[in-house]
Amino acid sequence: MADPIVVTAEVRVPAAALTVHAARASGPGGQNVNKVATKIDLRVDLAAIEGLADDARARLERLARNRLDADGRLVVISQVTRNQARNLEDARARVVELIRAALVVPRRRVKTRPSAGAKRRRLAGKKRRGDVKRWRARPGEAD
């Protein structure tokens, strides 16, 4: 059984919510790749994460929507190293990173309007550009 993942003092993923499966990795590795199961497939039951507020849980589901399996569990696959233990650490770190990203409350955008001077400057620039283009035309073709 895997150890629980502690994200913050309040938020943690219990061991019962984790499913770890090792498989043979793809890519380089020589004969080792054909013999040793180093790839880690870590699945996390999002509903079982403890201490996560409802809005943070909704943000987490939105962040992880492309990584969910048919049962609604988060799937994290790691095969970056040739060592199973390091791949497990990497997968757990990526889960922590994703949950921490969901804990951050996004700042609300404050609607602003361009100032009168900014509008004037923008329109003056457009007018200048139009004048330059008009002066480039052959005589008689302008307007």
Instruction: Give 39-97 pLDDT, tens digit per residue.
Output: 899 999 988 889 989 999 999 999 988 998 888 899 999 988 888 899 999 999 999 99
Of 70, 62, 125, nearest to 99 by C-alpha is 62
Of 63, 23, 24, 25, nearest to 44 by C-alpha is 63
Residue scoring higher pLDDT (28 or 9): 9
Comparing 10-19, 21-30, 125-134, the range with the smallest average pLDDT is 21-30
pTM, two decimal places: 0.72
Q: Given this structure, which CATH class describes domain 5-103?
A: alpha beta
Going from N- to C-terminal start, the domains of the chain cover: 5-103
Of 53, 40, 42, nearest to 10 by C-alpha is 53
CA distance 134 to 143: 8
